[in-house]
């Protein structure tokens, strides 16, 4: 099989995961070069990049598009279906992805709650027993989005002695097994926020959730609460976030995602001591790398053998590998 990987960062992973794709012809290109390299590719394995009709017009041999991870919001599923090209992704839970994102959420919660910036100052000034932090234990966390990532977050927070308020589009009986003791539908999110010291965004980005964290959202959050976003930057109105931080209402924001990635190091928000930022590394762990790569390799093997593909996102196409 001729497999085109994009972006170029896959080159750094080849020494670790290359054996999973042994026997295939591998090409690696940056998104800007994909249109010139896709003509002969049978499989496109992609990180975040636009896959639209213009690109597909040049994909004469393409039999599968596989997202390296979960989010496919930049892939035009309708256009792919019209071309008879199945699109698959990797489920986050059980592959190490959701588990890694949950860990990065906890990292931001701890850095903010234990005032990591002040901790560094204390070390530099040879000062002991300072600063005093906020314990996660006994506090209430609101987890927005109880999909794979939200479930993984809830499990870990419950194990740390926290109370959990869950927000999701639909309710499932299994939520109680996660330790969710309060539940609110997404349409009633503003009722879920009061009383929560930590608010964690783990929602899918769509037109319904875009800038769900807006001015009204921050007005009802308890003073002194922390916001953690490990999903998509566009879930949050940047202006509303900055206004809440500047007003002293929000105690801090922990972000693994940013508007216009990669973030500009000179961005004034990054100079705010109440903000912690990681460069979208939630799902980048040793376990997630092998888990995601294994899932992609399994589907490519299934494609070659004419078997039904796993985690296919298109509507069934007559005669395709997804049918």
Q: Pick from 94, 199, 226, 98: which is nearest to 150 by CA?
A: 98
Strand (E) or helix (H) holding 5 = strand 2-6
Whether residue 115 is found in the same domain as residue 159: yes
Q: Pick from 133, 135, 188, 148: which is nearest to 165 by CA?
A: 188
User: What pLDDT digit, counting tens, does each position of 235-289 carry?
Assistant: 999 999 999 999 999 999 999 999 999 999 999 999 999 999 999 999 889 999 9
Whether residue 41 is found in the same domain as residue 170: no
Whether residue 159 is found in the same domain as residue 249: yes
CB atoms within 10 A of CB 321: 20
Q: Which domain holds residue 231?
A: 97-277
Give the residue-averaged pLDDT of 10-14: 87
Q: For the chain, how many structural domains are there in total? A: 2
User: What pLDDT digit, counting tens, does each position of 30-79 carry?
Assistant: 999 999 999 999 999 998 899 999 999 999 999 999 999 888 889 999 99
Asked if residue 318 belongs to a domain, the reply is: no
Q: Say how far apart CA 48 and CA 72 lie, in whole Å.
A: 8
Asked if residue 144 belongs to a domain, the reply is: yes
CATH of the domain at 214: 3.40.50.720
Asked if residue 141 belongs to a domain, the reply is: yes
């Amino acid at each position: 099989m001729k497999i085109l990987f994009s972006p170029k960062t896959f080159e750094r992973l080849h020494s670790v995961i290359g054996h999973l794709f042994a026997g295939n012809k591998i090409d690696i290109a940056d998104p800007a070069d994909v249109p010139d390299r896709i003509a002969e590719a049978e499989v496109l394995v992609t990180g975040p990049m636009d896959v639209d009709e213009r690109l597909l017009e040049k994909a004469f041999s393409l039999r599968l598009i596989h997202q390296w991870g979960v989010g496919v919001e930049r892939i035009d599923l309708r256009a792919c279906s019209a071309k008879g090209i199945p699109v698959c992704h990797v489920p986050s839970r059980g592959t190490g992805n959701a588990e890694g994102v949950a860990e990065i959420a906890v990292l931001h919660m701890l850095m903010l709650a234990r005032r990591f910036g002040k901790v560094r100052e204390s070390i530099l000034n040879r000062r002991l027993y300072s600063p005093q932090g906020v314990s996660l234990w006994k506090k209430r966390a609101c987890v927005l989005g109880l999909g794979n990532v939200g479930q993984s977050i809830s499990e870990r927070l419950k194990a740390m002695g926290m109370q959990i308020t869950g927000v999701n589009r639909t309710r499932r009986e299994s939520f109680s097994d996660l330790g969710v003791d309060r539940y609110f539908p997404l349409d009633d999110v503003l009722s879920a926020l009061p009383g929560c010291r930590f608010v964690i965004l783990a929602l899918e980005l769509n037109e319904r959730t875009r800038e769900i964290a807006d001015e009204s959202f921050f007005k009802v959050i308890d003073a002194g609460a922390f916001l953690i976003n490990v999903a998509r930057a566009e879930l949050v109105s940047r202006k509303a976030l900055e206004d809440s931080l500047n007003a002293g209402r929000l105690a801090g924001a922990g972000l693994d995602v940013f508007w216009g990635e990669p973030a500009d190091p000179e961005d004034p928000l990054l100079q705010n001591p109440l903000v912690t930022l990681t460069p979208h590394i939630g799902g980048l762990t040793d376990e997630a790398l092998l888990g995601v790569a294994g899932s992609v390799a399994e589907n490519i093997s299934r494609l070659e053998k004419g078997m039904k593909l796993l985690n296919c996102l298109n509507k069934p196409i007559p005669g395709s590998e997804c049918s």
